[in-house]
Amino acid sequence: MAKPSVKESASPVDEKLQKVLARAGIGSRREMERAIEEGRVKVNDRIATLGDRVTLTDKIFVGGQRVVLRTEAARRRVILYNKPEGEICSRHDPEGRPTVYDSLPSLKGERWISVGRLDFNTSGLLLFTNDGELANKLMHPSSVIDREYLVRIQGDVDDDMKERLLEGVLLDDGVARFTDIVDGAGEGKNRWFYCVVMEGRNREVRRLWESQGVKVSRLKRVRYANIFIPSHVRVGQWTELTEQEIRDLCMTAGFDSNNYTRIMRPSREEVAQIERHEKKLRSASSAPKRVKVDLRKRSPRK
């Protein structure tokens, strides 16, 4: 009798291959679909195809490496990284430039998946998770998630320009717009603004402002959904989100966490590690710092 194919051996507990790989932390679901289409995924010694379904008894390989399948009881983790300028969001760079992954904590049998990207010259908030399903949901346009940036503009900005940016501007990849623009500090031709976009297009914030003939000299992401950069997390440092923060993030994204990897309480050892790391961050942030000019407190746009 011929050996049944991956598809034919489906059972009541089987799942789509790309979903299993995403949950295992190998990459987002879209990345895994691309890997399957490129022939880089094998199931039980045969090249996988898009649409295959697998169970926990199957042997799965990505790029020749065996994947440790995660059960539904694995712990979902999310960390916040305060990215400095001068780092790229790729895992490896042919030019040898530092990457954001160089500063992240190590994972055993998993890897961190970036929730979106920031340009080489953009700083600020980046989220990473070990759950590819959550990463996919947080990045998907259907989730309609706020991304707030602090931007310094060189050039004249008037009310008409801001209104055009709020109504929508035609860019090379379609119409884009800010959903909110609030004045920050500064006067004349060097002013700060807080602006919000709902998509994660490449260089979207810079391109929107540049479409109006002004220049972006500094750009920092300060918020993603309901997550802000804590005051004690300096540039180049990371912190782990609490269970409640992760639940709130899932709720904001419309992600039904009960259908995927459950949020589990960290072990006693993990709790101790998290507490030691937080103590280290707060201790460093309490040291004397150079005085900076505070931005004017924001008020909601009317």
> Which residues are the active-site residues?
119
Helix 132-139 and helix 29-37, axial crossing angle in degrees, nearest 10: 110
d(CA 157, CA 190): 10
The answer to whether the beta carbons of residues 242 and 76 sit under 8 Å apart is no
Based on the number of CB atoms within 10 Å of its own CB, is 229 exposed (0-12), middle (13-18) or buried (19 or more)?
A: buried
Length of the chain: 302
